[in-house]
Amino acid sequence: MEDKILDWVLPAEKFSQDGEPQSMHAVASEILQLDKNSAEGLAIMAEASLYLGDLQAAETFAQKALAVEPNNLRGRLVTGGVAIKNFALKAQLEILSGVIADAQKELKNLRATLQEHNHKFAFNRRKRTSTDEDFEKLIGKKIFITRSLLFKALTWLSNGLYLTGEPARAAQSLFEASALTDNNDLAAELYSKHLFLRNYRDTSQAQSKELAQKYNAFFANVAPLMHNRNRADKKIHVGYISPDFREHAVANFIPPLLQDYDTENFSVTCYSTGRKDLVTAKLKSFNVGWRDLIGKPPALIANIIADDDVDILVDLSGHSQDSCLPVLAYKPAPVQICGIGYTATTGLAAVDYFLSDKICSPENLPTNFTEKILRVDPCNLCYAPGFVKDMPALESSAPVLKNNFVTFGSFNNFAKISDELLYLWRAILERVPDSRLILKNKICSLDEGRELVREKLSKMSFPLNRVELRPYSPDYLEQYREVDIALDTFPYTGGTTTCEALYMGVPVVTLRGKTHGSRFGASILNAADLPELIAQNSMDYVNKAIQLARRTELLAAYHVGLREHVKNSALMNSAKYIRELEKIYREVVRL
């Protein structure tokens, strides 16, 4: 009976991988006809129900499966999935962590059993019988199923870990998951996400470079495209590729690339691989070529770009969500550059250059980049507020003037807030009497999320009565009117968040780190002509925040004049920025 049931479980797993829950449901029915009390049949029915959105049925069938077999991996996996859908953070982390630990143990035991079985033939020199072959097939089926369940648990857990501020564990889960799938494209995607999440915490330069370079292995069988274009007396054709030509943080830096370029000497085409919205329509209105390529495979996109005779292809995504790097692996353009939407090396050999600047990548600072560094003066990006969303008016004065206490704030992703950073923030609150701290992010939108944050802060002896946890909301820009000083995160600093705070009149204290990504905030403040807000080390970061909090008149001046100051700075000088970029484009085409 076990063999017959396993023969049905195998296609159920494949239907799960292919996103066919109705077929999974049909398989579960077949299993339950063989054995109405089959834990696996009940669990598959539960998993199918989960994918179909029927959470009540998923929970009911999962509990029935666990009543028959209390440690059934799939049944427990589904309960973890139901917890995810119900935003039960603690439950999902606990359940999925348990599933992973037990699946890893079971997989280890199955492999050991198979290895021991094979050793018998090596030592006894006897031939395999049909019974031996049946046993090996049975173990093979169990290994396949257990691997598949482990894969799902790891990928599901990574999302919860990221949301709850544990990006290092989330990255490790994705790393392990990438080795469990035979789908090379999926493995590459998971490994890419793993590389992205590693940016949230400190990693040695050597290790970062080594891990990034391993991304190349996923494209070992990709043949680069040929380029035969004659460059004589022709415009330089620049292509920008991104999934984020839409309402997205990166879109705040895209207009300068499209609106002020030299049309006599350059032509521009945007290759959009993501979904469309009103921001997309605004971007398409510029004098540029446009190709909507969402859902098309990387090889096809690469051939389209090559057929368009693009001289320079600029990737704006790096290893971020829905990465376009698999397209660049085909080398569709003779010169390929990454930047703006990503802050670390891609590791991909097909990427020639990375856009940076003298603050993020000083010439005397060691780098972990596999690409050659291109330095834009003074900053590698240019901010265009009001394009993605309307910018609200400024408050007429700093909040401290009416509150009689200083309010610090961070609207950054909670995953960027490391333990080391929290200890510094606690020191700041301790040194500035009656001060407050506002944390505003997605995790604070959930009751359990706020509870988890409070627990973490409590363990660090934070004065919880002086910390306000606010949920994400569409009016987050208006809420900067209640913040006197924004505290930047590190080693993964703010980008759009920092620019928005400055534009809303709020000074941002940042720390200049030792890597490109950890110096991003310093680069933005330098371009905004605000070097006094850049700290050189942890203690300097604390002291700058404290000193600024004590200077009420200076805070008031920032809140009144900072927007105009930023408007007149290099950070928003679109024409100068694109001229600098075009100089670089000319140089790399001539090389």
Q: 3-class secondary structure for 511-541?
A: ECCCCCHHHHHHHHHHHCCCHHHEECCHHHH
- The whole-number average pLDDT for the span 202-209 is 90
Edge-first strand order for the sheet with 372-375 is: 289-292, 266-272, 236-242, 312-315, 335-338, 353-356, 372-375
pLDDT tens digits, 462-496: 999 999 999 999 999 999 999 999 999 999 999 99
pLDDT of residue 231: 60
pLDDT tens digits, 521-549: 999 999 999 999 999 999 999 999 999 99
Q: Which residue has the tokens 């009420």?
A: 552
- The whole-number average pLDDT for the span 267-294 is 97
502 and 583 together in one domain? no
pLDDT of residue 66: 98
Percentage of residues in the chain having pLDDT higher than 70: 98
pLDDT of residue 131: 76
446 and 531 together in one domain? yes
pLDDT of residue 386: 94
176 and 304 together in one domain? no
Residue 204 belongs to a domain with what CATH number? 1.25.40.10
pLDDT of residue 4: 81
Three-class DSSP category at 508: strand
Percentage of residues in the chain having pLDDT higher than 90: 89
Count CA atoms within 13 Å of residue 466 on its CB side. 19
Q: Which residue has the tokens 């110096």?
A: 519
pLDDT of residue 115: 84
557 and 540 together in one domain? yes
Residue 390 lies in a domain: no
Distance in angstroms (rounded) separating the CA atoms of residues 393 and 477: 10
Distance in angstroms (rounded) separating the CA atoms of residues 195 and 180: 17
Residue 505 lies in a domain: yes
φ/ψ of 25, rounded to 5, equals -60, -45
Three-class DSSP category at 70: coil
Question: In angstroms, how far apart are the furthest CA atoms of the chain?
Answer: 90
- Indicate the average pLDDT of the chain: 95
φ/ψ of 338, rounded to 5, equals -120, 150
- The whole-number average pLDDT for the span 94-104 is 98
pLDDT of residue 339: 97
24 and 142 together in one domain? yes
Sign of the CA dihedral with 563 first, then 567, 569, and 571 last: positive
Q: Of 181, 214, 247, which residue sits at a domain end?
A: 214
Distance in angstroms (rounded) separating the CA atoms of residues 178 and 155: 9
208 and 306 together in one domain? no
Residue 284 belongs to a domain with what CATH number? 3.40.50.11380
249 and 377 together in one domain? yes
340 and 354 together in one domain? yes
Point out which residues pair with 511 in neighbouring strands. 535
Residue 233 has pLDDT above 60, yes or no: no
pLDDT of residue 553: 96
pLDDT tens digits, 365-415: 778 899 999 999 999 999 999 999 999 999 878 999 999 999 999 999 999
Distance in angstroms (rounded) separating the CA atoms of residues 158 and 168: 10
- The whole-number average pLDDT for the span 11-24 is 94
Residue 311 lies in a domain: yes
Distance in angstroms (rounded) separating the CA atoms of residues 299 and 306: 11
pLDDT of residue 226: 84
Point out which residues pair with 239 in neighbouring strands. 269, 313
pLDDT tens digits, 138-170: 888 999 999 999 999 999 999 999 999 999 999
pLDDT tens digits, 333-346: 999 999 999 999 99
Contacts of 5 (CB under 8 A, 6+ apart): 31, 34, 35, 38, 40, 41
- The whole-number average pLDDT for the span 423-438 is 98
Residue 551 has pLDDT above 60, yes or no: yes
Residue 393 lies in a domain: no
Q: Which of 550, 498, 543 is nearest to 525 (CA)?
A: 498
84 and 200 together in one domain? yes
When pLDDT is cut at 50, 70 and 90, the band that residue 123 belongs to is low
Q: How many domains are there within the chain?
A: 3
pLDDT of residue 126: 65
Least confident of 31-35, 219-223, 233-237, 318-322: 233-237
458 and 355 together in one domain? no
Buried residues in 555-569 as b, exposed as e (16+ CB within 10 A): bbebbeebbebbeeb
Residue 491 lies in a domain: yes
pLDDT of residue 480: 97
pLDDT of residue 556: 95
pLDDT of residue 390: 93
Point out which residues pair with 408 in neighbouring strands. 437, 485
Residue 258 has pLDDT above 90, yes or no: yes
28 and 174 together in one domain? yes
Residue 395 lies in a domain: no
Residue 426 has pLDDT above 80, yes or no: yes
Residue 283 lies in a domain: yes
Residue 121 has pLDDT above 70, yes or no: no
Residue 232 has pLDDT above 70, yes or no: no
- The whole-number average pLDDT for the span 293-316 is 97
Domain that holds residue 259: 236-382+574-590
Residue 112 lies in a domain: yes
More confident: 280 or 114? 280
Residue 494 belongs to a domain with what CATH number? 3.40.50.2000
206 and 263 together in one domain? no
